[in-house]
């Protein structure tokens, strides 16, 4: 029963309700433990007050006490699986948020974060008592336990979607949720092993990566280690004991390095704090699994962190270390000049220690160290909107905005969660635009990911890519430091094949959105063209859009609407001639359906006019690359629409012999699309500069190379396989003539089928 509905109740009824335990909704809270099992834990607010008193004023602390009173009353009679009063959980969550120095609204929301979900306190009541901000944050953290879903996975996905979208409006939502999950992980031993593993896997898949993405590295490491312990308790224990043993074995080496560095830095005029750094158990475990190493083979378990006062001192300290010990080539990383996507800044270098063991050093300022541990929580400002955002906050804002962009393109919660998971990869590569702007992408990202990160239209119209001024395939994996340039064409469209090698959630959602909407609309338009042509063959006008026969035919064919029926025609799932005959007045719908007309035998004889820019409904075959002026033929391919081949294409001839009934006559329109692709094999003498002269000749002919492959150096004559953009067969002839003018060119052949 909601608190708002209790206000008008009699005082006697209210007193009675307060005496009895409240209804508990969570599985682990469904059974109140016996008195003998309950722990004598006193749920005091004072530990939280001690944490927040140094940075909050007395009025804020008083508001926090009021929120505690409501939470304590709401959770009265409720216990956790451990037997502790439930109120101890929100107090602990608020204390974690207090450690991040979050504002009073955040701490109040942390104390109240379960009252809507568990105890039917209304959002409106929270807003009336504590303000709209607190109510919105609590609502964002609340799960969707009360709604009906087909499965637990769909419920979980919808909960994440709601939480992440609330987080995109106010990042405090996710900070409280992370604090909530951290305390749950710290007290996970009280629940059953099966649930323990499920919660740990969920944390490892979603919450730990989000913590890393927001720069909360201390939280990230703790969540990972606790998940590791919950999922693989035996492996965790074995590895923990091995780490303790190794710590003792390497104490002499680490002590010697510490003494040497501690004396060398002041001698160079650098005042620094030197602390030992130990790799987390989960990081060691993951490295052993991924690199197939034993524990003794993992040499970078221990290292040092050097914290200085100013940025120049980071580089001065680095030079001092490199004079003490020999650096390992290729093991230096400058995350100060190019920070990680989560705002992390530091210098990393690996040195060969006094006993020949590699030792990693991290060098950073005190401010960088603060951000490295607490991330976005370390500098998030809520009270003063006039304060300019730092780079970390700007990056976080951009990521949160990208969640809204993905949501606008995605209706399904599971698909939305899939896209977000893709964006939570901890590793990243940093590439440059032609103007020198740095773009961060997940490791393994392709030029398509880069294109969509710049703008949706650039991604949708991408046809080729240059990496470091060299043409490469759109599926090429980008590396840090690459300079990437995307070449676009107004006639280009996204391909479903791109989904096989993209990495970012934005690119995946944009491509799927295009394939669902634009491709569908193109298929409907092309299907109507095919149907109009079929009716013309019958010397009849096509029925009006509101003709009842459309609805009858759609339902009898298993389609939901006239538009879906036309889309099926455009995609080749139905043949226009059959649909036209079923709709014709002299052919009864029932009679035609009962006659079971074979849809593979009713191909119209009049040619279909091809523009070349119909989109996904009409595709020019990649095997032969037909151009305006070529003799062409088309095949209705199920799920792909009309695929146009050259008449002499060897692939088309083989397919035609197998399925002759699916082929239709097609002709080029008088005005066709520009920048169509075709392939050439060019044999040249392998001399210096020949590739440059070849590219210049093609460019001078108003054409463009979009793909090029060539053999390894050393062969006297090399055969180049290239794809070029031209407007027509005549334009291609001009390009070929220009290429033949190059003395080193021995042979040029247009490819009209598979090589």
Active-site annotation, residues? 117-118
Contact 669, 611 (CB under 8 A): yes
The answer for 335, left when phi > 0, alpha when psi is -120 to 50, beta otherwise, is alpha
3-state secondary structure at position 433: coil
Place of tokens 């006239």: 562
SS3 of 626-661: CCECECEEEEEECCCEEEEEECCCHHHHHHHHHCHH
Per DSSP, which regions of 456-512 are E strands?
A: 462-467, 470-472, 484-488
Place of tokens 């905005």: 401
CA-closest candidate to residue 180, choices 143, 145, 155: 143
At residue 247's C-alpha, the angle toward residues 246 and 251, to 5°, is: 115
Report the distance separating Cα 567 and Cα 525, nearest Å: 8
Phi, psi of 740 (to 5 degrees): -65, -20
Contact 464, 474 (CB under 8 A): yes
663-668 vs 608-610, strand pairing mode: parallel
For the chain, helix (H) and strand (E) counts, in that order, are 32, 20
Report the distance separating Cα 133 and Cα 144, nearest Å: 20
Centre a 10 Å sphere on the Cβ of residue 658 and count the other Cβ atoms it contains. 7
Report the distance separating Cα 428 and Cα 425, nearest Å: 7
Report the distance separating Cα 59 and Cα 174, nearest Å: 25
Distance set, CA 34 to CA 40, 75, 78, 79, 82 (Å): 13, 17, 12, 10, 11
Question: 326: exposed, middle or buried (C-beta count within 10 Å: 0-12, 13-18, 19+)?
Answer: exposed
Q: Where are the alpha helices (DSSP H) in 432-547?
A: 447-454, 456-460, 505-516, 518-537
At residue 709's C-alpha, the angle toward residues 704 and 713, to 5°, is: 125
Report the distance separating Cα 645 and Cα 629, nearest Å: 12
Report the distance separating Cα 505 and Cα 519, nearest Å: 20
Crossing angle of helices 576-583 and 518-537, in 10° steps, is: 60
Contact 678, 723 (CB under 8 A): yes
Question: 245: exposed, middle or buried (C-beta count within 10 Å: 0-12, 13-18, 19+)?
Answer: exposed
Report the distance separating Cα 65 and Cα 45, nearest Å: 8
3-state secondary structure at position 27: helix
Sign for the pseudo-dihedral over CA of 476, 479, 485, 488: positive
Q: Where are the alpha helices (DSSP H) in 22-74?
A: 46-52, 58-74
Contact 672, 628 (CB under 8 A): yes
Direct distance between the N- and C-terminal alpha carbons of the chain, in angstroms, rounded to an integer: 73
Q: Residue 85 has what DSSP assignment?
A: B
641-646 vs 618-620, strand pairing mode: parallel
Determine the length of the chain.
755
Tokens of 48: 């939280």
């Amino acid at each position: 029963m909601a608190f708002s509905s209790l206000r008008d109740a009699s005082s006697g009824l209210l007193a009675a309700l307060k005496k009895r335990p409240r209804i508990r909704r969570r599985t682990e809270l469904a059974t109140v433990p016996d008195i003998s099992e309950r722990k004598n834990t006193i749920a005091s607010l004072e530990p939280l007050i001690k944490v927040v008193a140094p940075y909050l004023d007395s009025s804020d602390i008083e508001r926090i006490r009021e929120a505690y009173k409501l939470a304590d009353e709401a959770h009265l009679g409720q216990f956790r699986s451990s037997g502790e009063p439930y109120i101890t959980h929100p107090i602990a969550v608020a204390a974690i948020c207090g450690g991040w120095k979050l504002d009073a609204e955040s701490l109040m929301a942390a104390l109240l974060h379960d009252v809507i979900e568990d105890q039917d306190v209304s959002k409106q009541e929270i807003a009336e008592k504590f303000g709209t901000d607190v109510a919105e944050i609590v609502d964002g953290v609340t799960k969707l336990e009360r709604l009906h879903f087909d499965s637990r996975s769909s419920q979980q996905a919808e909960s994440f979607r709601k939480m992440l979208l609330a987080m995109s409006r106010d990042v405090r939502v996710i900070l409280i949720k992370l604090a909530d999950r951290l305390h749950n992980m710290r007290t996970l031993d009280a629940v059953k092993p099966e649930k323990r593993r499920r919660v740990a896997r969920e944390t490892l898949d979603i919450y730990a990566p989000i913590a890393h993405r927001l720069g909360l590295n201390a939280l990230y490491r703790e969540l990972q280690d606790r998940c590791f312990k919950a999922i693989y308790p035996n492996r965790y224990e074995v590895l923990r004991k091995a780490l303790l043993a190794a710590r003792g074995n390497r104490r002499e080496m680490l002590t010697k390095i510490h003494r040497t560095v501690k004396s060398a830095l002041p001698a160079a005029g650098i005042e620094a704090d030197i602390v030992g750094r130990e790799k987390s158990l989960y990081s060691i475990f993951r490295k052993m699994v991924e690199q197939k190493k034993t524990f003794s083979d993992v040499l970078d378990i221990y290292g040092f962190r050097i914290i200085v006062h100013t940025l120049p001192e980071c580089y001065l300290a680095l030079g001092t270390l490199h004079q003490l010990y020999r650096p390992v080539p290729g093991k230096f990383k400058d995350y100060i000049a190019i920070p990680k996507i989560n705002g992390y800044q530091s210098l990393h270098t690996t040195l060969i220690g006094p006993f020949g063991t590699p030792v990693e050093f991290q060098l950073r300022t005190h401010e960088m160290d603060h951000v490295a541990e607490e991330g976005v929580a370390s500098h998030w400002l809520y009270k003063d909107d006039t304060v300019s955002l730092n780079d970390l906050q700007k990056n976080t804002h951009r990521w949160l905005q990208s969640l809204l962009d993905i949501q606008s393109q995605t209706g399904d919660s599971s698909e939305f969660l899939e896209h977000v998971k893709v964006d939570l990869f901890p590793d990243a590569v940093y590439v440059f635009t032609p103007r020198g702007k740095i773009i961060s992408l997940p490791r393994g990202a392709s030029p398509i990911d880069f294109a969509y990160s710049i703008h949706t239209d650039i991604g949708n119209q991408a046809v080729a890519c240059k990496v470091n001024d060299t043409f490469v395939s759109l599926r090429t994996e980008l590396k840090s430091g690459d300079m990437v340039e995307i070449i676009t064409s107004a006639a280009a469209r996204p391909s479903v094949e791109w989904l096989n090698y993209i990495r970012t959630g934005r690119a995946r959602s944009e491509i799927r959105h295009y394939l669902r909407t634009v491709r569908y609309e193109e298929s409907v338009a092309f299907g109507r063209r095919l149907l109009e042509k079929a009716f013309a063959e019958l010397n009849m006008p096509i029925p009006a859009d509101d003709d009842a026969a459309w609805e009858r035919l759609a339902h009898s064919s298993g389609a939901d609407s006239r538009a879906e029926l036309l889309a099926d025609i455009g995609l080749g799932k139905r043949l226009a001639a059959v649909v036209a005959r079923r709709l014709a007045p002299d052919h009864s719908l029932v009679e035609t359906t009962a006659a079971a007309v074979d849809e593979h035998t009713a191909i119209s004889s009049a040619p279909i006019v091809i523009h070349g820019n119909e989109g996904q409904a009409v595709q020019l075959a990649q095997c032969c690359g037909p151009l305006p002026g070529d003799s062409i033929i088309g095949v209705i391919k199920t799920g792909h629409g009309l695929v146009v081949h050259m008449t002499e294409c060897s692939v088309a001839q083989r397919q035609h012999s197998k399925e002759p009934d699916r082929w239709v006559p097609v002709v080029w329109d008088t005005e066709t699309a520009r920048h169509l692709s075709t392939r050439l094999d060019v044999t040249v003498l392998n001399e210096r500069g020949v590739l440059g002269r070849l590219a210049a000749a093609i460019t001078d002919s108003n054409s463009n190379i979009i793909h090029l492959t060539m053999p390894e150096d050393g062969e006297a004559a090399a055969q180049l396989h290239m794809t070029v953009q031209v407007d027509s067969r005549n334009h291609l002839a001009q390009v070929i003539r220009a290429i033949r003018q190059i003395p080193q060119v021995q042979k040029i052949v247009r490819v009209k089928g598979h090589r």
